[in-house]
Amino acid sequence: MIQMSLIQIDNYGPWTVTPTPRNESDLQILQAELYADVQRQFATKKGLVFFTRFDNMLAVTNGINREDHFRIQRSIRNRYPITISMGVGTGKTPYESQKIATQVLQEKGGAQSSDRKEILAIDSLVNKEDSYVQMAHIDINGVTESLTDNVPAFDTNFMVNKAQHYLMTELIKKGALLFFIGGDNFMSPCNGLSPKQLKDIIEKIHKEIGIKHKAGVGRSDNAEDAAYSADLGLEVIRQGNNKEIVHVFKDE
Ligand SMILES: Nc1nc2c(ncn2[C@@H]2O[C@H](COP(=O)(O)OP(=O)(O)OP(=O)(O)O)[C@@H](O)[C@H]2O)c(=O)[nH]1
Ligand SMILES: [Mg+2]
């Protein structure tokens, strides 16, 4: 079972324009700092946060309990001009978990409701024995050589976005999520997805849009260790000159 938490800024839309629109650069700084802050706090408990839309972030939080979530909310309230609400859900696939996490929070009121503040809505938490996280670190082959060093920066960015869209479209059908994590890298919480299914998806996208990916897969009872193993899987593929498409990393 994988546990996911939705982290949502309370009443953010109205706040950004009250009493008059706030400088965009200031909002960007707030969002970036909040993301780094929340990431640092979840990371101490081996969680992993994805910035998603910044005002809504999704995190894999196996092993992180009610008190841990509450302490993060309190710390943010004490230091920021905004507060955050959270929803927590568990499921066999990440899609299912985030869906439940979203629903339990939605039941407590809207994101732009001034009545809803600092809600912590927990549908369920994974227990130690059932805790399982599978992560795929997916990366584009040869971005530096083919694009970064040769075409305008914006064109590379556009291409990476296109790759993301295609990957998301296929992965969501299998209950897996995909997040951009910088550069040419994506992280996919993907409990329930087999290495063969992932390989088929990568090959299909290569045929469709000519972009070739590779993926390291890691498994653990928490997000941090699963993501780290996924990184090591990617390194194994690079050492073999990218001949392999998917490598499931196993500790020897
Ligand atoms: N977030 C994150 N970003 C990374 C990671 N590795 C590389 N990057 C970023 O991705 C960019 C491209 O790096 P690579 O994917 O190693 O380079 P490449 O040219 O695509 O080469 P190959 O992937 O080995 O084919 C780097 O410049 C970094 O910005 C990682 O593990 N995590
Ligand atoms: Mg790459």
Q: Give the pLDDT confidence of 124-175 residue by residue, as tens digits.
A: 999 999 999 999 999 999 898 888 899 999 999 999 999 999 999 999 999 9
Where would I find the H helices in 129-242?
Answer: 143, 153-172, 195-209, 223-239
Q: Whose CA is nearest to atom 30 of ligand 1?
A: 185
Asked, colleague to colleague, whether 2-130 and 133-248 share their fold, the answer is: yes
Distance 144 CA to ligand 1 centre (A): 8
Which atom of ligand 1 is nearest the CA belonging to 137? 31
Decide: 223 and 135 in contact? Cβ < 8 Å: yes
Give me the pLDDT at residue 246, please: 98
Which atom of ligand 1 is nearest the CA belonging to 242? 25
Spatial CA neighbour of 73 closest among 34, 108, 111? 34
In CATH, the number for domain 133-248 is: 3.30.70.270
Spatial CA neighbour of 226 closest among 252, 191, 185? 191
Three-state secondary-structure class, residue 139: strand
According to DSSP, residue 129 is labeled G
Which atom of ligand 1 is nearest the CA belonging to 184? 10
Spatial CA neighbour of 30 closest among 85, 105, 81, 72? 81
Which atom of ligand 1 is nearest the CA belonging to 231? 31
In CATH, the number for domain 2-130 is: 3.30.70.1230
Give me the pLDDT at residue 13, please: 94
Ligand 1 pocket, Cβ-based, cut-off 6 angstroms:
139-145, 181-185, 231, 238, 242
Over 80: is that where the pLDDT of 251 sits? no
Distance 140 CA to ligand 2 centre (A): 4
pLDDT, tens only, 43-101: 999 999 999 999 999 999 999 999 999 999 999 999 999 999 999 999 999 999 999 99
Distance 50 CA to ligand 1 centre (A): 18
Decide: 219 and 199 in contact? Cβ < 8 Å: no
Domain ranges (residues) in the chain? 2-130, 133-248
Over 70: is that where the pLDDT of 252 sits? no
The average confidence (pLDDT) of the chain is 97
Give the strand pairing for 246-248 and 120-122.
Answer: unpaired
According to DSSP, residue 23 is labeled P
Q: Whose CA is nearest to atom 10 of ligand 1?
A: 183
> Relative to the alpha carbon of 140, which ligand is closest?
2
